[in-house]
């Protein structure tokens, strides 16, 4: 298979966001979390620096990791959502609401992190081989 088709991504999707289903009719529009997102990477490096030794030794408090990820993803990654309701009422996207839900439901935060990290979510699935590629944890089947 062509190397660029296999590992290349749509830069517009990476920088502006791609819609990714995460389950139950909910979709999130996320920018790519990775080396191509320089503001994200710069701030991530800066935020993790004070915890370098704890991360290396595996002793960092999970609450600190969650708080850092919520801050990073609210500033640099999540752009919008669809299909989010509470008590039958549509919940419009806001950074504040994202932070609330990410704190309340760690699995939601995890799915957003996975959606923003998986390369295939930022590729154009025009190629038959990419369409057949196994879906990640964010796929609804």
Predicted confidence band at 104 (pLDDT cuts at 50, 70, 90)? very high
**For residues 22 and 115, what is the distance between their CA atoms, to the nearest angstrom?**
7
Q: Which residues on neighbouring strands pair with residue 90, listed in sequence order? A: 85
> Residue ranges per domain, the chain?
17-131
Predicted confidence band at 131 (pLDDT cuts at 50, 70, 90)? very low
Burial string for 71-96 (b: 16+ CB within 10 Å, else e) reads ebbbebbbeebeebeeeeeeeeeeee
For 48-58, how does the pLDDT look when each residue is reduced to its tens digit (9 = 90+)?
999 999 999 99
Is 105 a residue whose pLDDT tops 60?
Answer: yes
Tokens (6 digits) for 125:
């699935």
Q: Once rounded to an integer, what is the mean pLDDT over residues 114-128?
A: 79
Query: Nearest CA to 119 among 140, 133, 107, 101?
Result: 133
Is 11 a residue whose pLDDT tops 50?
Answer: yes
């Amino acid at each position: 298979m062509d190397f660029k088709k296999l590992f290349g991504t749509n830069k517009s999707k990476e920088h502006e966001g791609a819609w990714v289903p995460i389950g139950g009719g909910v979709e999130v529009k996320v920018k790519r979390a990775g080396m191509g997102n320089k503001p994200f990477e710069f701030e991530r490096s800066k935020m993790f620096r004070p915890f370098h030794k704890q991360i290396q030794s595996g002793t960092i408090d999970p609450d600190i990791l969650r708080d850092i990820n919520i801050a990073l993803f609210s500033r640099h990654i999540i752009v919008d959502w669809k299909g989010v309701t509470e008590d039958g009422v549509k919940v419009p996207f806001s950074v504040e609401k994202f932070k609330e839900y990410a704190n309340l439901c760690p699995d939601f935060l995890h799915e957003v992190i996975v959606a923003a990290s998986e390369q295939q979510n930022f590729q154009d699935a025009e190629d038959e081989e990419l369409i057949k590629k196994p879906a990640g944890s964010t796929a609804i089947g």
